[in-house]
Amino acid sequence: MEFCRRGAAMTEADQGPGAAAARFTGRPVTGERPGSGALTEVVLDGGRVVMVKRGDEPGSLRAEAAGLRWLADAGAVRVPAVHGHDEHWLVTDRVRPGRSGAEAAARFGRELASLHAAGAPAFGAPPPGGPEDAYIGLAPMRNVAGEDWPSWYGEHRVLPYVRRAVDDGTLRSTEATLFERVCERLPELAGPAEPPARLHGDLWNGNVLWGADGHAWLIDPAAHGGHRETDLAMLHLFGCPHLDRVLAGYQEAAPLADGWRDRIGLHQLFPLLVHTVLFGGGYAGQALASARAALAA
């Protein structure tokens, strides 16, 4: 009787990755392989493998699932199919690993340009069905629509993280004024106006998987409407295999505005400040250096 009572009271969070995979795929589970962090590979009856991710931040998996579906709807870059999610578990297809190469990188560049060109309703627009209060990694990220990129970027992608870093003691208030000056000058620093692009939003190398099919696959998005140069700036920040070929493919499909290389540091302020909030002072120095470089341009 005690066992039955415990089973009846078991919550979705307690069921484990195998139970979540079975529930969302409708298939029996034959095995589990713990992965890194919150990920588990689950083997279904018949041999198919799915990835099960545990998440405990309210709304985080809803935002991720909505982002994956929105990116997939563009029909551009490969994205793992979402089988289902709740407040604690997200189940997606597993990407069969392959190797990066110059041809695959150029193809990824063209596909990324196509993804961006699919557009968004506004800067800061969340994916359909996604919450305004989303996440980038473990950091909160608000998806609030803005009319133009410079004012929206300053208000919702730079200053919130500057304030939190000051509150945490990672940045001094005197250093915060440097970022405030950048935000004041964003209209002149931002380059030619562009329409909102459909962004992955957290496009560092770890979220680009090179598949056995010869394509790049995108995972773990912080998807929203933004400036296309932001995704490219993040690829520059943390590196990407054959980045020169990725950029060549991108330029072939959708040439970037003049001066885009000079604006890389401006777009890197967002991920650098997020990392400052999450991981501390080393990233604060990089963010400050990027802010100084932007003001000197």
For the annotated catalytic residues, the residue numbers are 202
**Residue 268 CA, distance from chain mean position:** 14
Phi, psi angles (nearest 5°) of residue 48: -65, 140
3-state secondary structure 68-86: HHHHHHCCCCECCCEEEEC
| Torsion on CA atoms 253, 111, 220, 211, rounded to nearest 10 | -140
DSSP state, residue 95:
P
Nearest CA among 93, 107, 134 for reference residue 223: 134
Distance CA 87, CA 13 (A): 8
Nearest alpha-carbon partner for 128 in 138, 136, 118: 118
Q: Which amino acid is at 68?
A: L
**Tokens 């400052």 map to which residue?**
276
Distance between CA atoms of residues 126 and 145, nearest Å: 8
Q: What gap in Å lies between CA 219 and CA 208, rounded to an integer?
A: 7
Other C-beta atoms lying within 10 Å of the C-beta of residue 273: 28
